[in-house]
Amino acid sequence: MSSVTKIPASEHGINPREIDKKARTILKSLTDAGYEAYLVGGGVRDLLLGFHPKDFDIATSATPEQVKEVLPSTRIIGRRFRLAHVHFGREYFEVATFRAPHDDSDKGQVGQHGRIIHDNVYGTVVEDAYRRDFSINALFYDLKNGEVLDFVGAMDDLEKRQLRMIGDPVVRYREDPVRMIRAIRFAAKLDLSIEPASEAPIRELSSLLGNIAPARLFDEALKLFHSGQAIKTLELLREYHLLEYLFPQAEKSLNEDIDKDGKEGTYTKLVYAALTNTDKRIRADMPVTPAFLFAVMLWKRVREGSIMYSELGNPALQSMHLAASDAFGEQVKCISVPRRFSNMTREIWTLQGLFAFKNERRVLRFLEHKRFRAAYDFMCLRVRAGELPEEECEWWTLIQEVDAAEKKAMCLAASPGKSKSRNKRRKNG
């Protein structure tokens, strides 16, 4: 367990200038103060794979309190996992103290199902490496001499392009079931295979995700579907029976959305079109919103519910609101959704009905609505999925591009009967 492979800078090819300057400042400050400190985890992994890391996490022998002594801008957070966040204005870097195997003290408790409850048992860099989840996340970069430290055979796994759990996969998944989701995310994002022993227990243990706090799964869901590989992620989640614990209504809708000849319906096409669009936006470094993800995933349930409530005699808008409340009521049992996103999702849904009205006054007012663009994008995806005629997206695309006179002409052409009636009323009035 104590053996280490040291890969010199001449072999691994990491350029220290690719590491964020602030992260380098933290590493240097801690080592100058006499502590061990390394860049660790995804930052090292991504640099070795040729990606530009989004996060630069640091592991150190210093306790959170000692980190704060060296770097006064530090804030100590967490109870289950005590961490140091070193702030640079609004930006911060996560600094974790080396962790050791669990014991039976108050600092390191494991619950009834094997899940970690408290995790503040500090240890050495070697012990910390073996505590990490997957081998490729257990590489340590030493800024002082440029070496990469490998305690768990991670470099071999990177060469094989495989994801391997450190230790007994069953025990490790039970410690933290979210590791199953992380396995899917890394496999999809980094185009890795999951090593057979690490893959085998996932389907059997997938139900453990039901014990995870819905608030935590919100963040994990965003990481999954906003990684730039949303289509592959969705397919892997379904293959390993994990989607049903994140988006149970979507899983049910996808299973139902197949006709007797095995052809996919409009909902499946909508989901794939939306996730393809999300991947393109992320790869182009364009913004995406969680509200859109939930709007797509829950759409079939909401649309069917809206029809049901309308048939019971409710007005169209009220029917949509009732169906939306039903869908979110079920969804938040698995993934809690902050209100700022759930409200935006509801608006995307309720605004769909306005695309049917093309008289000038309503069109001009609609175009000024703060959620018009999101609702328009969603409507055009419905067109791509075959749920609406192509003319709908084409008309609303053109109306945004033409001048005021042409807008008026388009609206008159789209609803001539209503315009004649209005002119007649004015003449008689």
| Beta pairing class for 57-60 and 74-77 | unpaired
Annotated catalytic residue within 55, 103, 156, 191 = 55
Which residue type does 58 have?
A: I
Which residue type does 104 have?
A: D
Is 219 annotated as catalytic?
no
What local confidence, expressed as pLDDT, does residue 103 receive?
Answer: 52
Count of alpha carbons within 13 angstroms of residue 384, beta-carbon side: 16
Is 133 annotated as catalytic?
yes
**What is the separation of C-alpha 197 from the centre of its chain, rounded to a whole number of angstroms?**
26
**What is the separation of C-alpha 223 from the centre of its chain, rounded to a whole number of angstroms?**
3
Q: Which residues of the chain have pLDDT under 70?
A: 1-2, 80, 102-120, 417-429
What local confidence, expressed as pLDDT, does residue 108 receive?
Answer: 45
Is 176 annotated as catalytic?
no
**Among all chains, which residue has been given the structure tokens 């790869």?**
283
What local confidence, expressed as pLDDT, does residue 106 receive?
Answer: 47
What local confidence, expressed as pLDDT, does residue 120 receive?
Answer: 67
**Among all chains, which residue has been given the structure tokens 């809708």?**
253
List all residues 6 or more positions away from 84 whose beta carbon is below 8 Å from its beta carbon: 64, 67, 68, 71, 74, 75, 76, 77, 94, 95, 96, 97
Which sign does the torsion angle of CA 59, 61, 67, 70 carry? Answer: negative
Note the pTM of the prediction, 2 decimals. Answer: 0.87
- Smallest CA-to-CA distance from 221 within 116, 164, 291, 306 is with 291
List all residues 6 or more positions away from 158 whose beta carbon is below 8 Å from its beta carbon: 45, 48, 49, 136
User: Do the beta carbons of residue 298 and residue 328 sit within 8 Å?
Assistant: yes
Annotated catalytic residue within 46, 128, 133, 326 = 133
Q: Which two tokens stand for residue 87?
A: 């702030």
User: Do the beta carbons of residue 121 and residue 101 sit within 8 Å?
Assistant: yes
User: Do the beta carbons of residue 71 and residue 86 sit within 8 Å?
Assistant: yes
Annotated catalytic residue within 46, 57, 279, 326 = 57
User: Do the beta carbons of residue 59 and residue 30 sit within 8 Å?
Assistant: no
Q: Residues 287-300, buried b or exposed e (16+ Cβ, 10 A)?
A: ebbbbbbbbbbbbb
Which sign does the torsion angle of CA 188, 192, 193, 199 carry? Answer: negative
